Amino acid sequence: MCGIVAYVGQKEALPVIIKGLKRLEYRGYDSAGVALLNESGLSIYKKKGKVSELEAHLDTFSSLNSKIGIGHTRWATHGEPNDVNAHPHYSASEKFAMIHNGIIENYEVLKTDLQNKGYVFHSETDSEVFIKFIEDIHRNNDCSLEEAVRLALHKVVGAYAIVIMNIEEPDTLIAARKGSPLVIGVGEDEYFLASDATPIIEYTNKVIYLDDYEIAVIRQNQLQIKTIENVETHPYINQLEMELEAIEKGGYDHFMLKEIYEQPRSIADCMRGRLDASSGRLVVGGLRDYMNKFQNAQRIIITACGTSWHAGLVAEYLFEEFARIPVEVEYASEFRYRNPVLNENDFVIAISQSGETADTLAAIELAKSKGATIFGVCNVVGSSIARATHAGSYTHAGPEIGVASTKAFTAQISVLTLMALKLGYQRGMIAETRYMELLHELETIPGKVERALQLNEQLIKIAEIYKDARNFLYLGRGYNFPVALEGALKLKEISYIHAEGYPAAEMKHGPIALIDEEMPVVFIATKDSSYEKVVSNIQEVKARKGKIIAVVTEGDTTVKNMADHVIEVPSTEEAFVPLISVVPLQLLSYHIAVMRGCNVDQPRNLAKSVTVE
Ligand code: M6R
């Protein structure tokens, strides 16, 4: 939520910042702004809307040359999206400018205090309060800006990643973080700062992940990091492995489509080096030191949000089927406030694409405080969740830029499948021959996903028919129940059509009342242990004249005779079906959203990385 970029070095700062903001736009696109410092002083330019609108606004100015600058793309928390609430914000004297990603929870108290001292506020944001609070400390204590920031950070409650420019130190950026991500790119005589590495990768692959409660003072050729207790730290410089093309559209109209099509590769990448069916080798590196805890856990608790929570539901079926350990799947936002019963025998798995989701992070901290072992399944390398957990495995899906999660979902399920099989085998719950069968089948999944992608033309035709529907129902059972939830979420978040996912058998307990000839119902009815039951549910919908779109196993003839449309996917083991059956649902949502003229990569009101609770 909110993307921040900053630069100090020899280059023109503005193009670096604008390009960076475009890469970070997935984090929020309510407004965008930059602050630049040159002979004319410290100037802020900001605009409601996307970075392209800021660019158009900047075209009307001359003399924007500057070797230092900060930029922000906003997902509104305090105050509506408009020019005034856009970042950066000036301090009262306009000597400092600040960008902020996060939420200051005690901003109202600070604001009242400052107002009593005569400070005037122009925006409704907590961030304007934050920078004015820093300036107030700076004035009252007659100290350096760095010291003022340090003192302020002891007083603010909440989450932040901030970068500040100071007219009196025209070559210096001051940055700090707690709870919101901040990456420093280390170049030759230049530094980059950003909410993630995507704006940086083009210039350098050397990065430092700033830790919570650290303050960095950055000059063209000098970087110093201290804790807020004023203790100098010696940061580790990481080498990024990300390639530039991974964060570009590569000829596709949208990132979402590109990411859907990347799934055969991303699933294979996730399994690469971990699975070798011919030798029976299955290694989940992150588990090595915790296998004992995992095997002997009395309970597995999975916590996540959104699509990652759906991947957690699939994992519940996987772990219970293969490892016979009871599993609970928890919305992180509920779990963190529920005073859950937890102890050191619980194994908690936190799933997150971004690795920054505030609720998931808080759930991890809670579980840690109760002594549980926490294992992270994250996509973004070096992310906060990846660093907050005891151990973990990366999904290796590569950067996911489209706000709607697609390849991250299948990569999460892939890692969780590997974990479930490993655990089941180690616990003696899967016989050797069956284990080998499963490993061999798992290796075929990327190829089968490739075949599912060939259904695209058929899905375009179905999308054309239903693009104006006002509601959709998605129904599935067993492993396909979470797929139904995911299909509905994909459709609603990018096309703004109301969609609900349900376990197919629950339909008769309420949703069936919605069914008439206007209602498209998507069944995920692959040949599995609940197939016959789902077929009965299809009959029930047909009897009420609902329109039936069914995802079935290749060669199915029963459903063909009942459904208005059948989408045939390759057959596989029941436990691996979600990896394939979700693909046509992703494509259907994508095409419907495009046909309705929606911005599929940046749906309204959403942000990719939800760093507020
Ligand atoms: O980064 P995370 O996986 O923790 O994010 C969780 C959700 O915000 C995310 O999955 C969201 O539901 C997606 N936009 C769904 O497509």
User: What are the tens digits of pLDDT across the range 192-250?
Assistant: 999 999 999 999 999 999 999 999 999 988 999 999 999 999 989 999 887 777 788 88
> How confident is residue 440, by pLDDT bands cut at 50, 70 and 90?
very high
Give the residue among 83, 75, 132 at the shortest CA–CA distance from 107: 132
Active site residue 608: yes
- Inter-axis angle of helices 306-323 and 407-426, nearest 10: 20
Q: Reading across the β-sheet that carries 96-104, which strands appear in turn?
A: 89-90, 96-104, 158-166, 169-178, 214-219, 222-227
Q: Is the pLDDT of residue 341 over 80?
A: yes
Residue 195's pLDDT is 94
Residue 77's pLDDT is 80
Q: Looking at ligand 1, which atom is closest to the CA of residue 304? A: 4
Please give the Cα distance from 447 to 465 (Å, whole number): 29
Output the residue whose Cα is nearest ligand 1's atom 4: 352
Structure tokens at 118: 């005569």
Q: Looking at ligand 1, which atom is closest to the CA of residue 490? A: 16
CA of 404 relative to ligand 1 center, distance in Å:
7
> How confident is residue 154, by pLDDT bands cut at 50, 70 and 90?
very high
Q: Which architecture does CATH list for 454-604?
A: 3-Layer(aba) Sandwich (3.40)
- Provide φ and ψ at 177, rounded to 5°: -145, 150
- What single letter denotes the amino acid at residue 134? I
- List Cβ neighbours of 511 (8 Å cut-off, separation of 6 or more): 473, 500, 502
- CATH topology identical between 249-443 and 454-604: yes
Residue 220's pLDDT is 84
Task: State which fold the 249-443 domain adopts.
Answer: Rossmann fold (3.40.50)
CA of 405 relative to ligand 1 center, distance in Å:
6
CA of 81 relative to ligand 1 center, distance in Å:
22
Q: Pocket of ligand 1, candidates 303, 308, 410, 413: which has the most ligand atoms within 8 Å of its Cβ, to mutate?
A: 308
Segments of 510-554 assigned E as strands: 520-525, 547-553
Task: State which fold the 3-245 domain adopts.
Answer: Glutamine Phosphoribosylpyrophosphate, subunit 1, domain 1 (3.60.20)
CA of 64 relative to ligand 1 center, distance in Å:
37
Active site residue 95: no
Annotate 133-165 with DSSP letters as a single string: HHHHHHHHHT--HHHHHHHHHHH--EEEEEEEE
User: What are the tens digits of pLDDT across the range 76-129?
Assistant: 888 888 999 999 999 999 999 999 999 899 999 999 999 999 999 999 999 999
User: What are the tens digits of pLDDT across the range 268-311?
Assistant: 999 999 999 999 999 998 998 999 999 999 999 999 999 999 99
Residue 246's pLDDT is 78
Q: Looking at ligand 1, which atom is closest to the CA of residue 610? A: 8
- Choice between 249 and 161, residue whose per-residue pLDDT is larger: 161
Beta bridge partners, 159, equal: 103
Residue 69's pLDDT is 97
CA of 607 relative to ligand 1 center, distance in Å:
9
Beta bridge partners, 161, equal: 101, 177
Q: Is the pLDDT of residue 63 over 80?
A: no
- Of 1-5, 8-12, 321-325, 582-586, the range with the lowest mean pLDDT is 1-5
Q: Among 50, 132, 490, 608, which one carries the catalytic annotation?
A: 608
What is the reported pTM? 0.84
Instruction: Kindly list the domain boundaries of the chain, sorted by start residue.
Output: 3-245, 249-443, 454-604
Mean of pLDDT over the chain: 95
Q: Is the pLDDT of residue 173 over 80?
A: yes
Residue 26's pLDDT is 85
User: What are the tens digits of pLDDT across the range 383-429?
Assistant: 899 999 999 999 999 999 999 999 999 999 999 999 999 999 999 99
> How confident is residue 508, by pLDDT bands cut at 50, 70 and 90?
confident
Residue 612's pLDDT is 73
Q: Is the pLDDT of residue 146 over 80?
A: yes
Output the residue whose Cα is nearest ligand 1's atom 12: 306
Q: Looking at ligand 1, which atom is closest to the CA of residue 606? A: 14
Q: Is the pLDDT of residue 607 over 90?
A: no
CA distances from 137 to 99, 176, 324, 340, 541 (A): 18, 16, 58, 41, 66
Q: Among all chains, which residue has been given the structure tokens 């605009």?
A: 47
Report the share of the chain in percent with pLDDT over 90: 87
Mean predicted confidence (pLDDT) in 555-578: 97
Please give the Cα distance from 188 to 596 (Å, whole number): 47
Q: Pocket of ligand 1, candidates 354, 486, 613: which has the most ligand atoms within 8 Å of its Cβ, to mutate?
A: 354
Cβ pair 129, 103 in contact under 8 A: no
Please give the Cα distance from 72 to 109 (Å, whole number): 25
Residue 24's pLDDT is 92
Output the residue whose Cα is nearest ligand 1's atom 11: 306
Residue 577's pLDDT is 98
- What single letter denotes the amino acid at residue 411? A
> Which amino acids bring their CB within 6 angstroms of ligand 1?
305-308, 352-354, 357, 360, 403-405, 489, 493, 610
Q: Looking at ligand 1, which atom is closest to the CA of residue 306? A: 12
Residue 385's pLDDT is 93
Residue 249's pLDDT is 85
Residue 80's pLDDT is 87
